[in-house]
Amino acid sequence: MALQVEVYDERFHSLVGTKFHLTELFQSAIWAEGPVWHQEKQTLIFSDVKGNKMYTWSEQQGIQIFRSPSHFANGNAIDQHGNLITCEHGRRAISQTDSQGNIRILVDKLEHKRLNSPNDVVVKSDGTIWFTDPPYGILSDAEGKKSPSEIIGCYVYCYDPKTNDINIATFHVMRPNGLAFSPDEKQLFVADMSAVEFEKTGLHHLVVFDVEGRKLTNRQEIAEINPGIPDGFCIDQQGIIFCSCENGLIVLTAQGDYLGRFILDKTTSNCTFGQHQKELFITASNSVYRLNIE
């Protein structure tokens, strides 16, 4: 497909690139999500949430089914030991898959109450796992199992696999979804997409918090994302944000300045860097793309 690029700020070319090549790698998902690059295996792993499957892609082997059923897996991350960390709507849990393929649940409760449906996840350099827990896996059977919430709230959590401790990092995001650390890990950016439930009064914003230990403080709104909502996003080493929206990716600075937009004409859910930061994998509706940047 042809890629449209819109430039809003003259810094776009110096901070992002000047040449772009888009390749469609897969187009058979129901709702593609949660892409993560496994550097050691040179493999992309992603979820088809509503298809209840996970897939891998590599240059050598192309697309292969990784897990089916997947417990309605959504977001994924790789920890420092090469383990796959996965948000599972079906088991309302964060799971870990080791290099031998062994799967175990790391956490599924807060004070004996089941989580809603963990959605997106990042691993900090100290090994702590930070994730969001909106209700989308328990609202219907489309991407989980319709169930009442035991938490009665949607929060950002910090989980320490070394101690098995979990805490609410902040109460101040109504519908937290995607999240990513700043390059120095002093801030955590979060998508607040409460406009999904409340079209007139809800938010479709990127917000940022200061990271203080295992807590998030000093909430600030960075940018309102239009059209649509912010879902998943990633941040490069310069602090440039590539954020999903209704028709592609918006590129903006950490201060919220819009630099430009990659238009895919598909509702885009997430993105992640490949083996370097000039290779971007994008999940959009039923498709997965690779965007090469020069």
Beta-strand relationship, 4-7 and 258-263: antiparallel
For this structure, is 126 an active site residue? no
User: Assign residue 12 a region: left if phi > 0, alpha if psi is -120 to 50, beta otherwise?
Assistant: alpha
pLDDT at 1: 66
CA–CA distance, 281 with 46 (Å, rounded to integer)? 10
Average pLDDT, the chain: 96
From CA 263, how far away is CA 268, in angstroms rounded?
Answer: 10
Q: How confident is the model at residue 264 (pLDDT cuts 50, 70, 90)?
A: very high
Give residue 175's pLDDT: 93
**Res 195 pLDDT > 80:** no
The catalytic residue among 231, 236, 257, 265 is 231
pLDDT in tens, 78-129: 999 999 999 999 999 999 999 999 999 999 999 999 999 999 999 999 999 9
Distinct helix (H) and strand (E) counts, the chain = 1, 27
How deeply is 238 buried, as exposed, middle or buried, from its count of CB atoms within 10 A (0-12, 13-18, 19+)?
A: exposed
By the 10 Å C-beta count (0-12 exposed, 13-18 middle, 19+ buried), 121 is classed as buried
Residue 201 binned pLDDT confidence (cut-offs 50, 70, 90): confident
Question: Does the pLDDT of residue 152 top 90, yes or no?
Answer: no
**For residues 209-230, b (16+ Cβ closer than 10 Å) or e, as one string?**
bebeebebeeeeebbebeebbb
pLDDT band at 248 (very low <50, low <70, confident <90, very high): very high
Q: Residues comprising the binding site for substrate?
A: 119
**Residue stretches of the annotated binding site for a divalent metal cation:** 33, 177, 231
- Tens digits of residue pLDDT in 32-70: 999 999 999 999 999 999 999 999 999 999 999 999 999
Decide if pLDDT at 278 tops 70: yes
pLDDT confidence of residue 193? 86
Question: For residue 225, what pLDDT is reported?
Answer: 94
What's the rounded Cα separation, in Å, for the pair 27 and 63? 11
Domains belonging to the chain, first-starting first, are 4-293 (2.120.10.30)
Closest CA to 205 of 248, 235, 175, 160: 175
Residue ranges of the annotated binding site are 33, 119, 177, 231
Q: What is the mean pLDDT of residues 196-215?
A: 88
